[in-house]
Amino acid sequence: MFTIDLLKGTEIPAGPRPIQIAAVTVAFCLLVVAIALDAIRYVEDSSALAAQEQSLTVYTQDLAQLADVARMLETNEKRRKEIDADLAEVSKALLCHTTWSPVLVALSGSASEAITVNDVLSKREEQKGKDRKVSYRYSIMMGVVSPSGSAAVEQFIRDLRQQMPLAPGPDSLRIVSQQQQPIEGRNFQYYVIECRLEP
């Protein structure tokens, strides 16, 4: 057998193997696809950004046209906050006051012709809580005279118990003292009645 060695002893170069060709092709394609995807994304983002910036300009102009409405709302909001802050303090201050009209209406509704309410004294007692907050307890003292005797006073107390806005508890309405008192030359029984009012 003859061997013709034109390369004079050097090896015959081997041709590229199919696996190498496949690997190189896949790697190349992957790179190209990645570049293409990135480029597409870049182009899309750029055009979307341009459109959004255009919209931004339009809405900014709209906002400039609506500036007077924005100013009005801002002023309104500022005033609302001021009033709310004032009202928050007012509600604290209201805890230190009461209304006497219902008490006096109940008193005049309970008094009959058989008794005379001689004097009325409202009392406001301050109470300090553990948190140093002050609360008030209200009561009313009244001096009552009845020419027709104790039955009229008892009836007056029963009516008061029904009509007066009293604090809870059995002691909220009681006779504090009872004594003889001369009025216009005659002796009358003079009662001092205390009502503790609901807070």
Residues forming contacts to other proteins in the complex (CB under 8 A) are: 13-14, 16-17, 20, 24, 27-28, 31, 34-35, 38, 41-42, 45-46, 48-49, 52-53, 55-56, 59-60, 62-63, 66, 69-70, 72-73, 76, 79-80, 83-87, 89-90, 92-97, 99-101, 104-105, 108, 117-124, 128, 132-135
Closer CB to other proteins, residue 27 or residue 151?
Answer: 27
Q: How far is the CB of 9 from other proteins (least distance, A)?
A: 16
Evaluate whether 95 touches 135 at the Cβ level (below 8 Å).
yes
Q: How far is the CB of 1 from other proteins (least distance, A)?
A: 27
Q: How far is the CB of 148 from other proteins (least distance, A)?
A: 19
What would the DSSP string read from start to end of 126-192? EEE-TTS-EEEEEEEEEEEE-TT-HHHHHHHHHHHHHHS-BPSSGGGEEEEEEEEEEETTEEEEEEE
Rounded CA separation 117/107 (Å): 9
Closer CB to other proteins, residue 1 or residue 17?
Answer: 17
Rounded CA separation 95/88 (Å): 12
